[in-house]
Amino acid sequence: MPVTDWVGTYDQDRAVGFAGMLAEGQPARDVASKVVETAAVPFGLAVGAGTADGSVTLGGAGYIGITLADKAQTADEYPVGVMAGVIRKGTVWVTAGAAVTPADTVYFVPATGVITNVATGNTAIPGAKFETTAASGALVRVYLG
């Protein structure tokens, strides 16, 4: 007997995650709380040290980590002045800024915080590696070690 869908349409295949989501079933190994300093920071992007103690800015210099998703934030980003969860060790989902493979080195774009494998003009993330293959704009797991 066929099943009737009384609620309408829905995605048959659910997404594996979303940008800034922890990618493992275990707790993150190192998460810091930092105040967003100069502009809102979307989830799943690299942040650097801000000018004030304990603060971060989108991309920038002095890599700190990658912002974790916080569903208490209404716009999928941390506004200025809010404490952001920043993962420094563990595995997190991000949106690939280019087509990537597990053999690639992980970099971030200083101006945008986007995670990529493109070296030119970008900053390497020490101890990081891509765990999955992804097309540009697709979700990819990044291990921060």
Give the contacts of 32 (CB within 8 A, at least 6 positions apart): 64, 65, 85, 86, 88
pLDDT digits (tens, 9 = 90+) for 44-76: 999 999 999 999 999 988 999 999 999 999 899
15, part of any domain: no
Mean pLDDT of 13-20: 81
Which amino acid, one-letter code, is at 82?
V
47, part of any domain: yes
Return d(Cα 91, Cα 5) in angstroms, integer.
36
Please report which confidence band the pLDDT of residue 1 belongs to, taking 50, 70 and 90 as the band edges: very low
> Does residue 4 register a pLDDT over 90?
no
Q: Decide: 91 and 112 in contact? Cβ < 8 Å.
A: no
Structural domains in the chain (count): 1
In sequence order, the β-bridge partners of residue 141 are: 93
17 vs 45, residue with greater confidence = 45
13, part of any domain: no
Q: Decide: 64 and 56 in contact? Cβ < 8 Å.
A: yes
Residue 133 tokens read as: 């293959």
**pLDDT for 14:** 62
User: Helix, strand, or coil here: 84?
Assistant: strand
Give the domain extent around 46: 30-144
10, part of any domain: no
Mean pLDDT of 115-139: 97
> Does residue 101 register a pLDDT over 90?
yes
102, part of any domain: yes
90, part of any domain: yes
End-to-end CA distance of the chain: 51
- Residue in 128, 96, 123, 98 with CA at minimum distance from that of residue 110: 123
18, part of any domain: no
Which amino acid, one-letter code, is at 71?
K
Q: Decide: 49 and 64 in contact? Cβ < 8 Å.
A: yes
**pLDDT for 13:** 57
63, part of any domain: yes
Q: Are strands 63-67 and 83-95 parallel, antiparallel or unpaired?
A: antiparallel
